[in-house]
Amino acid sequence: MADPFEEYFQSYANAFDESDPERITSHYHCPCTMVNAGSITTFDTRASLLRNMEALLRYNEAEGYDHSAASAFRVDQQARNLAIVDVRWRVYRQDDSVLWDWGNSYNLVDYGAGWKILVSTTHEAS
């Protein structure tokens, strides 16, 4: 069951590794919502989401981002075209030391264009 989602999130990670904001954005439905401990942000347009991803990539680069890995998938397939997927993320520096380690839950939808992130909820980092 998790294989299509593992492929999906590997593609998502690769887009970050390649610093490709267009490709990152292609993984999202618009509108979409991002939830963090201190904020909720909704992106109504691809252009606003793209600007956010460009800023995120600049931040990642400044912090020493080199590559990321997704693991520990838990999939709750709620309907044929609705799923919640929990992912454990690790982000590494060039020397393979861990820069960030956190969990994320994604509400995914497939309305005919493949799986897209509708809601991204970031868990506390460890």
Q: What is the pLDDT of residues 72-108, one digit of tens each?
A: 889 999 999 999 999 999 999 999 999 999 999 999 9
Looking at residue 111, its amino acid is: Y
pLDDT of res. 124: 79
Give the integer Cα–Cα distance in Å for 31 and 28: 8
pTM of the model: 0.93
Q: What fold, for 3-125?
A: Nuclear Transport Factor 2; Chain: A, (3.10.450)
Q: What is the pLDDT of residue 1?
A: 41
In the prediction, which pLDDT does 114 show?
A: 95
As a whole number of angstroms, the distance between CA 106 and CA 56 comes to 18
CB-based contacts of 48, cutoff 8 Å, min separation 6:
none
Residues of the chain with pLDDT under 70: 1-2, 125-126
DSSP state of 24: H
Q: How many whole angstroms separate alpha carbon 126 and alpha carbon 121?
A: 15
Q: CA-to-CA distance for 91 and 5, rounded, in angstroms?
A: 19
56-86 in b/e form (b: 16+ CB < 10 A) is: ebeebeeeebebbebeeeebeeeeeeebebe
**Sequence-ordered strand ranges (E) for 1-126:** 28-36, 39-43, 67-79, 82-92, 98-109, 116-125
Residue whose pair of structure tokens reads 């990152």 in the numeric block:
24
pLDDT of residue 66: 97
| Other beta carbons within 10 Å of 121 | 17
pLDDT of residue 3: 78
